[in-house]
């Protein structure tokens, strides 16, 4: 006789009170397959923790974003934000879909080149560009986004020596009605610094001024802020046209679109509150089209969207290590993935589902990672079924930032696999070994023996 | 081991404590264990019955069973 599946016995106190008017469902449906690939098979083949990336989701999401903008504006170009996820396989999917590269360091710049992106299709942002970085980017015809006057003067000097006119844009910061205002990148719009930077570029006659860029914030839940941004950049472009008689090539709106994740402390889920690509596109393109810019020669609209294009394509598979009761009687569960690899647990209440079906009874649980550090808390309170040791969990919406901001701390970083559009599973980053980490270390001779 | 007289449990796992006025929800296995306690079975007999019926190792059952009994005692549901 086949035995029945066992579930840990649980008793849960019922509290009466005002019912939740939104009637949110407890998220206990199992995630047993990702793109039709069984999660149990992935765990059997690769173990846990394991990051899984869905190529189909990436491609579908970029198609959706392109549709939203290209049906509203004549010239649109996406540039993949490397810092959001710079796994080569991921970057190449975006490049195959026509995205340029948006990089913020020499490391990322060289990565983009090695991924086959031509120099003219690399946007070089960021406050830290060395003289050598600027020479390389100038020689490759890359789009250099100037962050501060020191960089501007360095670039003018370099261009004299190179006898080349590097292609440059300025980064502009501004008040878009959101708080806090991001003013650490670029030149301010309201106080006239941005126009001053443009004047210096034009007066030098050594740089080719091609565009305007702004990055107004991150996880922007208001599409309206982008409308303000696009209007101000269009106004600046118009002032430039009036003064110097030529149009700029492009307006780069930056990144910052929210994904469907739920921010900590948010009352409603991200799925209910995050603006859609259509919402963002409507706000941005309306502002540009309704500006004073010449409708026959509109600038190229560049978008450096990162998070909203990749977050939903990433999953993290993990396993329960143990269950414990805390001193106040609350249940806690320890899992084998910590904040060192799920860095975004500091910001989000991720959707976390079991891998298999349970009876539907759930309990309030504190979810801890495996690190011997008090901060290693994935969630202080989450409704989960009665999990037992060795049961598996699936964390959704982890594609952005985790695989770049993760750190090797206490444990080693896990493998990453990609499920391609045919359902084939490919390993795209091996799990680390002790050898990988110690390869960079040296032990002085006097410490040979202990 | 006995279930206190002031405890009422429904078939679906709804438990009411008439002394404190508290109510609880039990998952099917938790309700089944409480029924077996009511049938005056001792812990070893209950565990043996569960082992025969469910796909669970002895150690996993021991841990979750002992923890559950501990909770029931703390909540004054059994004595």
Residue B3 touches chain A, beta carbons under 8 Å = no
B26 CB neighbours in chain A (<8 A) are 9-12, 361
Nearest by CB to residue B27, choosing from A10, A14, A329, is A10
Each domain of chain B, given as residue ranges in start order, spans 7-74
pLDDT digits (tens, 9 = 90+) for A377-393: 999 999 999 999 999 99
Count of other CB atoms within 10 angstroms of residue A341: 27
Q: How far is A369 from chain B (nearest CA, A)?
A: 21
Residue B67 touches chain A, beta carbons under 8 Å = yes
Strands A187-188 and A167-173, sheet pairing: parallel
CATH architecture, range A33-53+312-437: Beta Barrel (2.40)
A299 secondary structure, DSSP code: P
Distances from the Cα of A291 to the Cα of A192, A237, A359, angstroms: 19, 10, 58
Which of residues 7 through 36 in chain B touch A, CB cutoff 8 A? 13, 15, 22-30, 33
Helix, strand, coil tally for chain A in percent (to 5): 35, 25, 45
Domains A33-53+312-437 and A55-310 share a fold: no
Q: How far is CA A129 from the centre of its chain?
A: 22
B77 CB neighbours in chain A (<8 A) are 11
Rounded average pLDDT over B59-63: 92
A364 CB neighbours in chain B (<8 A) are none
The three-point CA angle A430-A443-A410 to 5° equals 40
Sign of the CA dihedral with A376 first, then A262, A347, and A255 last: positive
- Phi and psi at residue A368, in whole multiples of 5°? -110, 150
Q: How far is B49 from chain A (nearest CA, A)?
A: 12
Query: Looking at the predicted complex, does its ipTM rise above 0.90?
Result: yes
- Phi and psi at residue A164, in whole multiples of 5°? -135, 155
Residue B61 touches chain A, beta carbons under 8 Å = yes
Query: In the prediction, which pLDDT does A270 show?
Result: 84
pLDDT digits (tens, 9 = 90+) for A45-69: 999 999 999 999 999 999 999 999 9
Cβ–Cβ gap A361/B27 under 8 Å? yes
Closest by alpha carbon to A305, among A89, A137, A68? A68
Extract the residue ranges of chain A whose pLDDT is less than 50.
Answer: none
CATH architecture, range A55-310: Alpha-Beta Barrel (3.20)
Each domain of chain A, given as residue ranges in start order, spans 33-53+312-437, 55-310
A6 CB neighbours in chain B (<8 A) are 29, 50, 54-56, 60-61
Q: How far is A1 from chain B (nearest CA, A)?
A: 9
Cα separation, A37 vs A55, in Å, equals 13
The pair of three-digit structure tokens given for residue A228, joined into one six-digit string: 């303000």
Name A316's Cβ contacts closer than 8 Å, sequence gap at least 6.
A49, A50, A51, A52, A337, A341, A342, A394, A395, A398, A402
């Amino acid at each position: 006789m086949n035995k029945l599946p066992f579930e840990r016995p649980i008793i849960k106190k019922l509290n009466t009170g005002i019912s939740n008017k939104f009637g949110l469902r407890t998220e206990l449906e199992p995630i047993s397959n990702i793109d039709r690939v069984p999660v149990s098979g992935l765990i059997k083949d690769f173990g846990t923790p394991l990051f899984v990336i869905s190529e189909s989701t990436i491609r579908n999401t970029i198609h959706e974003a392109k549709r939203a903008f290209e049906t509203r504006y004549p010239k649109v170009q996406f540039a993949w934000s490397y810092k959001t996820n710079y796994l080569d396989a991921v970057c190449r999917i975006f490049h195959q879909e026509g995205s340029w590269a948006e990089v913020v360091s020499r490391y990322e710049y060289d990565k983009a080149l090695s991924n086959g992106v031509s120099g003219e299709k690399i946007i070089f942002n960021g406050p830290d560009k060395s003289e050598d970085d600027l020479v390389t980017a100038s020689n490759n015809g890359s789009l250099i986004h100037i962050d501060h006057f020191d960089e501007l003067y360095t670039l003018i000097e370099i261009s004299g020596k190179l006898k080349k006119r590097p292609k440059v844009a300025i980064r502009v910061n501004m008040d878009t009605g959101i708080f806090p205002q991001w003013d650490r990148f670029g030149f301010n719009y309201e106080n006239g610094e941005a126009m001053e930077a443009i004047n210096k570029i034009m007066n030098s006659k050594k740089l080719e001024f091609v565009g305007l860029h702004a990055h107004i914030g991150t996880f922007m839940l208001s599409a309206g802020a982008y409308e303000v941004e696009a209007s101000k950049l269009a106004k600046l472009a118009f002032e430039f046209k009036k003064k110097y008689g030529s149009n700029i090539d492009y307006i780069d709106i930056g990144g910052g679109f929210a994904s469907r994740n739920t921010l900590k402390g948010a009352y409603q889920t991200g799925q209910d509150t995050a603006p859609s690509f259509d919402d963002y596109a409507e706000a941005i393109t309306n502002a540009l089209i309704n500006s004073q810019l010449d409708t026959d020669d509109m600038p190229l609209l560049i978008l450096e969207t990162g998070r909203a294009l990749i977050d939903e394509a990433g999953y993290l598979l993990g396993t329960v290590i143990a269950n414990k009761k805390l001193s106040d009687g609350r249940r806690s569960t320890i899992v084998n993935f910590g904040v060192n690899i799920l860095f975004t647990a500091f910001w989000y209440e991720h959707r976390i589902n079991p891998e298999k079906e349970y009876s539907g009874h759930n309990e309030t649980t504190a979810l801890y990672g495996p690190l011997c550090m008090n901060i290693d808390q994935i969630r202080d309170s989450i409704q989960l079924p009665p999990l037992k040791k060795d049961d598996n969990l699936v964390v959704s919406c982890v594609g952005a930032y985790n695989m770049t901001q993760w750190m090797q701390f206490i444990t080693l970083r896990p493998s990453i696999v990609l499920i391609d559009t045919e359902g084939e599973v490919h390993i795209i980053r091996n799990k680390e070994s002790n050898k990988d980490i110690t390869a960079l270390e040296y032990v002085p001779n006097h410490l040979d023996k202990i | 081991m006995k279930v206190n007289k002031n405890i009422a449990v429904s078939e679906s796992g709804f438990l009411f404590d008439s002394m404190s006025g508290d109510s609880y929800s039990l998952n099917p296995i938790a309700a089944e264990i409480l029924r077996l306690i009511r049938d005056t079975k001792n812990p070893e007999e209950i565990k043996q019955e569960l082992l025969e019926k469910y796909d669970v190792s002895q150690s996993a059952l021991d841990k979750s069973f002992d923890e559950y009994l501990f909770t029931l005692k703390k909540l004054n549901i059994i004595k």
